[in-house]
Structure 1
C-alpha cells in the first residue's frame, strides 16, 4: 500500500485485514484454483452441507482434511473441529497458515482418536471412502464407530456424514481419478453399506453445487447422513 493510500481506508475490510490476517490456500486448494477453479465452488457447497447438518454440535472430527482451506465453513457452526489427515505434510502446512481458532490439526491415527480426544458428536469424511480398498472398509467404519458417541437410551449418539463420487460418475472421471477411486458405490449400495453400521441412513444426490433427493443413478456425487450407530459393530 503506497504512502498516499496508507491510512486512508475507504473499505473497513481492508483496514481490518491490512496487517496480514489473510487466509491462505494450501497445496490441494491451490492446485484446484490454478488447474480446475470450478472445483472450489463444488468443495464449498459440500462443506456447507456438512456445516448445516452438524450446526450446533460441540465436537466434530474431519477425516481427510488435506490443507484445511474449506474447513472454516464447518468450524463456524460447531464448538470445536478436529481436522485430521493421514499425510502429515498437509497438517504441517496447515499449521503454518491462518486457520480458525476453534480447530485442532492432527496427523491421522483413527484407531487412537477416541483415546486422544474423547467421543465425537459428529464425524465427516468427504472424498475419502472411495480411496479405501473394499477389504479395509469395514475396519475404517469400525474405527469411526469407536470414535463417535455411542447410542444411548434416549436414542441419541454421534452422527456420520460420508461424501463420495457416485459409481455412475466414473465414466466421466480422468484416468488418474479412476486409478485412485477404488471403492465408488451406487446410491443403493452406499445406503446398504452404511446401514450395516447405523440404524438410519439418509442418502442424498448431488449435481454441481445442488444437493437434492433425485434419482441416484443420475447423481454425480452422493452424501450419506448416518444416525444412531449400531453398538454391535464396535
Structure 2
C-alpha cells in the first residue's frame, strides 16, 4: 500500500521492528516515538536501512517535516480517547491532501482473550465501526481490513483479532 512513496512517517515506531520491511518498498521512513532510549537503539541497529528517527509526542505536536504517507500500528489503543483527535490531527498535518494513513489496532471484540497486562495498557480499543468513524473524520475515503493470525482479509469484522484502516485523501483541517 505504500510502495513507491518517497517519504513515509511511522508514528509510535517503538523498537522499529517492522521498519526494515517498509524500507524495502519506499525511499525513506522516518520513525517518531516519545521514548528516546528506543530511538537511540534504533539508530544503531537500523543504520543500514533508509530510515531516521526523532523524539515526538504525537498528541502534543505535529511532526516538523512533511510526508507522502504515514502508518501507526499498535498505537491508537494506548492513546486516551480525549487525545484521539490530536493524534489524528497532528498526523494529518504532516500529510498532503492526497495523503495516506494506515492505522492498525487490536479489535475490541478480541479483548476477552487478552492477558490482564494487555488489557491494562489498551485504554482505547476500537470496534470496526468506531475505527472507521474515527478515520472518516479525517479522511475522505476509509478502507477497513480484518486480520487473524497473518491473514489480512475483508471478512466478518467482529471475529477479527486485529483491524487495519486505510485513510486516503485527508480532509482539510
Is 1:198 the counterpart of 2:139 in the alignment?
Answer: yes
Bigger relative contact order, structure 1 or 2 (CA pairs below 8 A, ≥6 apart): 2
- CA displacement at 1:189 relative to structure 2: 1.6
SS of the residue corresponding to residue 31 of structure 2 reads: strand
- CA displacement at 1:69 relative to structure 2: 2.8
Match of 1:89 among 29, 34, 37: 37
8 Å contact 1:59–1:79 — kept in the other structure?
Answer: yes
- Residue 115 (structure 2) aligns with: 174
The CA RMSD measured in Å over matched residues stands at 1.2
How far apart are the structure 1 equivalents of 2:168 and 2:23? 21
Unaligned runs of 5+ in 1: 1-52, 152-156
Is 1:227 the counterpart of 2:168 in the alignment?
Answer: yes
Larger radius of gyration: 1
SS of the residue corresponding to residue 3 of structure 2 reads: coil
Q: How many residues align?
A: 171
- Residue 140 (structure 1) aligns with: 87
- Residue 68 (structure 2) aligns with: 121
TM-score by length of 1: 0.71
How far apart are the structure 2 equivalents of 1:78 and 1:162? 18
Structure having the larger proportion of residues in strand: 2
8 Å contact 2:139–2:168 — kept in the other structure?
Answer: yes
Structure having the larger proportion of residues in helix: 1
8 Å contact 1:75–1:100 — kept in the other structure?
Answer: no
